[in-house]
Structure 1
Amino acid sequence: MAQRFYLLLLLLIFLVNLICFSSQQDLSFVFNGFNQDQAGDELLLDGFARIQSPERVLQLTDGTTQQKGHAFFNRPFDFGSASSQSLSFFTQFVCALVPKPGFYGGHGIAFVLSSAHNLKKAYASSYLGLFNRSTNGSPSSHVLAVELDTVQSAETDDMDNNHVGIDENRIQSVVSASASYYSDREGKNISLILLSGDPIQVWVDYEDTLLNVTLAPLRNQKPSKPLLSRTINLTAIFPDRKAFVGFSAATGSSISNQYILGWSFSRSRRLLKSLDISELSTVPLFTEQKRKRSPLLIVLLVILTLVVIGGLGGYYLYRRKKYAEVREPWEKEYGPLRYSYESLYKATKGFNKDGRLGKGGFGEVYKGSLPLVGDIAVKRLSHNAEQGMKQFVAEVVTMGSLQHKNLVPLLGYCRRKGELLLVSKYMEGGSVDQYLFNGDKPPLSWSQRLAILRDIASALCYLHTGASQVVLHRDIKASNVMFDDHGANLSATAAVGTIGYMALELISTGTSTKTDVYAFGAFMLEVTCGRRPFDPEMPVEKRHLVKWVCECWRKHSLVDAIDTRLRDKFTLGEVEMVLKLGLLCTSIIPESRPNMEKVMQYINRDQALPDFSPDTPGIGVSTPMVMGIPGLAITSTSVTSSASVPLVSPPSTNNSMFISHTILNGDGR
């Protein structure tokens, strides 16, 4: 008998423990609205958090600053032992974030799992009432939160001011997304404004380590696709396998009313009770109270208004002076090609030094970006005299009208007092000389070099003969030939001239198409030989490239002049033709040089080179080093008696134009 009683007692104890264990494991509740009798006993509230009657809503904060509120269910969610069934929980709640009229909203709310329900040491700003500086990021915090954040903070790396995120022991989200919900009918995500004051449904499902967060407007069914999904090891965050569930909110320096209208929670998806939307209260709104304004307040408002008007007037005058331009009636016909100084100032971020591409006697060049245009280069040129400005602007416009597949014209200009700005397309691929002389760049193959020479020749031929007026380039060299961003095109502009590229007659007769041909010949030798036309570091006999190539030809060893990096990967006939053509173009006798039309025929193998030798007069003679030549200032120069040369050159400045696969880029850069 005693044995039976003992067995019965053990069975009774087992059943009691089983019931208690089951009640812990199957924590499940639903609040279709909140009332003081039921929710007041089952919720642990601190901070501002309170149950508002008769609205039957849980209010976490109100319209005051530096405020926080917490609400947790009074019993912890017990995960059970490691050997028990798989860990999971499911919850649905309806919230509303109501902005105060005339103010920007608070820092949002968070659904929280926390090892402790007492978060009184958390800050009332920046951390959603979850952390302070010492606990943020600490593994000992034991907090998992789903945040609905309405403030973008650089400190917390927020993506925007209307996002949902998952936080593990720190306010910086491990994953986040702009607030939206998936529309099964439209098959796409639709944005939600968290701080609209409208009720929003939120589902948080955790099963088999996968945490899903789903949002939807109040009357919608639960979408088939979640907004966020993240694998979470819940037992790593909560090693004691217990956590309180609830909500946290804060206002910081921004304020709003933050409400929970209903809440359902269960460990089992099957046992989760859906909220009855019809039983939920409407969202309480802010009520404006009319207050009688005192005379002192009115006086202060008047003074403040006058101060604001004065400040705005001062700002207007400052802005007007800052973006002031020089405009004259004759410029009206060039309106479409004129840029405002304000647009260029903003495009270059105030001509920020970090965007400066080059600096020299001509001025400075800055990189910028314009809507619908893309990346640009803005050249700032200083000038004091207005004489010739009308002609110069007309030449800028003419340059903009040039049409050629290898020509990128100037986009436009802007004028200020004492300053001229030229706008052109930006080329970011680097110059040819970087590929020839910079070890960081891969060497150019022979086919690439030949293509560059053909493109430059084509562009120069067009400038000399194809345009409505003859255009001189004036400074063709490798450092002025720029690759574009695809590495296939190039650009260049004109400048005063460079030793090794300058024909001797520049001293007496000035620039002409023949001086451009001379410079192109030197450029051909430079590209083929991988050497600069004049290199003072070389031995005396090799210092002048024109003379050295001619000497190699005289010794029947032209191949010795070829860039050794080509490693025999070239067509000997093509290379010899290019070197001989380079020598012909650099003849010291201008009349012996072919024009660019002939150069095009020779380089494209449409016509054989004329018969000449290393001993032909004028061939292989290097020009003397001439610096500071008077009369080499870039101005409009007549090439023929009837055609003026439209150059981009204001008084006492360098000209500039752009050419592409090969584009001509000057200013010595």
Structure 2
Amino acid sequence: MKKQLLATLFMLGCFGITSQTYAVPVLNTITLDDIAPTPGSSATKLPDGVLQLTDNSLSDPEYQIGSAYSTSPVGIETFNATFSFQYSGTYPAHGSADGIVFVIKNPASATSGGDGGGLGYGTITTGNGSYAGIPNSVGIEFDNWYNPEVGDPSSNHIGINVNGSVVSQGTVDISPEFNGSGPWYAWVDYDGSLLSVSVNQTNLKPDSAMLSYNIGNIQSVIDSPAATVGFTGSTGWATQTQQVLSFDYNDPPRAVPEPGTVTLLGIGGALVSIWTRRKRLAISD
């Protein structure tokens, strides 16, 4: 009887663990299909699957805040994220702004921060009031408006932000301007300590990172073993349409072939194709 009771308790315990595991699955790989707009924000999914965070075609496109996140948490021990985005349009006599942020956050944290220079991510005071940023989070900003009050280095840069602050831990200027010169391609890599970012106007990853920051253990930063990942974006006095065109996230990181390796693979594939064709011709003769 005692053995049967222990066996039953063991089975119930296993069932409970299994049920918890499947109730909130932690994914290792997601794409743009797994990113959903936050209800009530300006973000939307277009019919072709593109994620649009802000819309410059509105009658009043000022001070929008868009956000969208993964529908399930993801692993963050080590990872790489690759995505493409583009900005387009301006507000007459105002210009284009403000940019987007790739966000890694505690699943329970707020989904957005302030408009304008807050980029939908950060703590800021604007003409619409004061906003709190996203706590327990890491944000990679792609900023195309100069906000000197938060330490922006220029009107077109990338930066690494922590815990809802738009005062970046590190920045680097980017040329040409994001708006109107897209699509842009971005790579975010994390090796368990170092967070690295690069952008390019082609889908060829630069040989070395353009911006790096030793952030340490991201799980400690966001106070969670897994994260919700996604994007925020905003407009202010100046406006633009902001779109994320593609997205891939992998934990652990997926290897990205070096340019030379890609070339060799291409040559190898061509040689195999020629050899196969010649063999077929020889057989038919």
Query: Normalised by the shorter chain, which TM-score bucket?
Result: 0.7 to 0.9
Partner of 2:53: 60
Amino acid at match of 1:126: G
* 1:284-325 deviation line (CA, Å, top 9, x unaligned): xxxxxxxxxxxxxxxxxxxxxxxxxxxxxxxxxxxxxxxxxx
Question: Of 225, 228, 236, which aligns to 2:208?
Answer: 225
Partner of 2:149: 155
- Residues 154, 56 of structure 1: alpha-carbon distance in 2 compared, 3 angstrom cutoff: same
Which structure 2 residues correspond to residues 165-314 of structure 1 after superposition, within 5 A? 165-169=159-163, 170-179=165-174, 191-218=175-202, 220-233=203-216, 234-270=218-254
CA–CA separation in structure 2 for the residues paired with 1:214 and 1:97 = 17
Name the larger-Rg structure.
Answer: 1
Partner of 2:84: 94
CA contact (8 A) 1:48 1:60 kept: yes
CA–CA separation in structure 1 for the residues paired with 2:152 and 2:51 = 27
Question: Of 74, 79, 82, which aligns to 2:71?
Answer: 74
Task: Give identity over the alignment, percent.
Answer: 24
CA contact (8 A) 2:85 2:242 kept: yes
Q: 1:131: how far off?
A: 2.8
TM-score under structure 2 length normalisation? 0.73
CA contact (8 A) 2:109 2:136 kept: no
* 1:96-116 deviation line (CA, Å, top 9, x unaligned): 111237552111101012234
Amino acid at match of 1:227: M
Partner of 1:17: 17
CA–CA separation in structure 1 for the residues paired with 2:37 and 2:10 = 36
CA contact (8 A) 1:135 1:141 kept: no
Partner of 1:145: 139
Partner secondary structure for residue 195 of structure 1: coil
Greater relative contact order (CA < 8 Å, ≥ 6 in sequence) = 2
Q: 1:20: how far off?
A: 5.9
CA–CA separation in structure 2 for the residues paired with 1:15 and 1:192 = 56
CA contact (8 A) 2:53 2:67 kept: yes
* 1:566-600 deviation line (CA, Å, top 9, x unaligned): xxxxxxxxxxxxxxxxxxxxxxxxxxxxxxxxxxx
Amino acid at match of 1:238: I
Amino acid at match of 2:104: L
How many residues are paired up?
A: 241
- Residues 229, 60 of structure 1: alpha-carbon distance in 2 compared, 3 angstrom cutoff: same
CA–CA separation in structure 2 for the residues paired with 1:251 and 1:151 = 10
- Residues 228, 25 of structure 1: alpha-carbon distance in 2 compared, 3 angstrom cutoff: same
- Residues 71, 117 of structure 1: alpha-carbon distance in 2 compared, 3 angstrom cutoff: farther
CA contact (8 A) 1:28 1:271 kept: no
- Residues 271, 18 of structure 1: alpha-carbon distance in 2 compared, 3 angstrom cutoff: farther
- Residues 241, 193 of structure 1: alpha-carbon distance in 2 compared, 3 angstrom cutoff: same
Q: 1:129: how far off?
A: 1.2
- Residues 164, 225 of structure 1: alpha-carbon distance in 2 compared, 3 angstrom cutoff: same
RMSD value over aligned CA atoms? 3.1
Partner of 2:267: none
Long gaps (5+) in structure 1: 80-86, 180-190, 273-669
Which structure 2 residues correspond to residues 442-481 of structure 1 after superposition, within 5 A? none
Q: 1:217: how far off?
A: 2.1
Q: Quick check: which one's strand share is greater?
A: 2
